[in-house]
Amino acid sequence: MGEYTSFNGDVFHVNEEFFMSWVQDVFSVPLMPIEGDVLMPEPEVSLPKYGVSAIFLAHAEEYFTRFKNYDYLYTLMSETFERLDYVPKGLVVDFGSGFGNSVIPLLENYDVQVIATDISPDLLRILKREARSRGFQDRCAAVAQDAQNCYFLPKHADLVVGCAVLHHMVEPMALVRAAITVLKPGGKAIFFEPFELGHQILQIAYKQILAEAKNRQLKGPGFDYLAALNHDIHVRTHRNRLAGFEDNWKNLDDKWMFCASHFKKISDELGCKIEILPLHNNQHQFTRQTKTALESYGGLKCPDALPDWAWSILNDFDENYFSPEGLMDLPIEACVVITAL
């Protein structure tokens, strides 16, 4: 064990052998301990934290309590690995790790070491606590950094994971470039992200529901939340046309919805292979997405949050308006799989 003084003057003990070995070897700059087992690239110490809301920085425990869902993230990842006929092993770099929704399932189910990165040291301290309680502390390092800054040495990681992280970034493709940098040839990066086309179809469905509610002179929190979701979709897909865009963009939490063209551009630039895999094969995706939003984020109970006729409208979009092949081209959320060549 070694004694270290952090940049804010706190003195604490760190496993020196662990700190100086496999973790530091992946980085091009010195790593500094900042509190407990959390590390930080030296250039990050004086940098402001742009594009992240207070809930990730000052209310980490509240966020952890509300959104901990290891089983769901494991389902997403395991389904993707099965579709790719891929078994994770070796070194994983996880971007936007937060309190570990993706990291804990990786450590529990695969023979991997994980470098977990996030801009919030508070969330990473929770991740380390959860990893330690399960006996994974020697296979998990937590590094507090802005993922848009690449401090990695080339060709070290076997796998990169980012669960719902790119759409929070001011410059998401900077993170993709960092992922490609740290990956070994043949290594994979997987990102789970929102996509524009499916959300625009969802917006059309919500407009139909809200128009019908107006005709029936109905009001309620479910309708209010659909209106708020439509506003969010509009902001994230028409950001360049909005007043005050330049001043407010960095302060938004959710910033992007992606199109295949975003990733085609990075593929052409970096010479990597990219696949886009819709989650759950897009089965009943419009109904499923709406229930998730109303329950998990709106705090409402489904199906009671909306009347039967509203769910019927959503079901038409799920089952009657598109072919199965057409639905696959309209993901609301998808896994982007990037293979370094």
Q: What is the DSSP string of 116-136?
A: EEES-HHHHHHHHHHHHHTT-
Are the C-beta atoms of residues 210 and 307 closer than 8 Å to each other? no
Put residue 85 in one of left, alpha, beta given phi > 0 → left and psi -120 to 50 → alpha.
Answer: left
The pLDDT score that the predictor gives to residue 52 is 63
Average pLDDT value for residue range 302-325: 97
Say yes or no to pLDDT of 158 above 70: yes
The pLDDT score that the predictor gives to residue 193 is 96
Put residue 292 in one of left, alpha, beta given phi > 0 → left and psi -120 to 50 → alpha.
Answer: alpha
The answer to whether the Cα torsion of 196, 198, 201, 202 is positive or negative is negative
The pLDDT score that the predictor gives to residue 49 is 72
Q: How far apart are alpha carbons 115 and 333 in whole angstroms?
A: 25
Average pLDDT value for residue range 213-230: 98
Least confident window among 1-5, 133-137, 212-216: 1-5
Q: How far apart are alpha carbons 108 and 102 in whole angstroms?
A: 10
Say yes or no to pLDDT of 19 above 60: no
Write the single-letter amino acid at 51.
Answer: G
Say yes or no to pLDDT of 37 above 90: no
**CATH 3.40.50.150 placement within the chain:** 51-194
- Residue 52 vs residue 180, higher pLDDT: 180
pTM: 0.89
| 40-50 pLDDT, tens digit each | 999 998 887 76
First CA to last CA distance, the chain: 40
| 242-273 pLDDT, tens digit each | 777 767 777 778 889 999 999 998 889 888 99
Say yes or no to pLDDT of 212 above 50: yes
Average pLDDT value for residue range 22-44: 91
* The dihedral formed by the CA atoms of 57, 59, 60 and 63, expressed in degrees to the nearest 10: -120
- Angle 121-174-21 from CA coordinates, rounded to 5°: 50
**Average predicted confidence (pLDDT) for the chain:** 89
Say yes or no to pLDDT of 277 above 70: yes
B/e letters for 248-273, b = 16+ CB within 10 Å, e = fewer, are ebeebeebbbbebebbeebbeebebe
Q: How far apart are alpha carbons 2 and 23 in whole angstroms?
A: 16
Q: How far apart are alpha carbons 44 and 289 in whole angstroms?
A: 36
- Top-tier CATH class for 51-194: alpha beta
Average pLDDT value for residue range 213-223: 98
What 3-state class would DSSP assign to 23? helix
pLDDT-based confidence at 59, cuts 50/70/90? confident
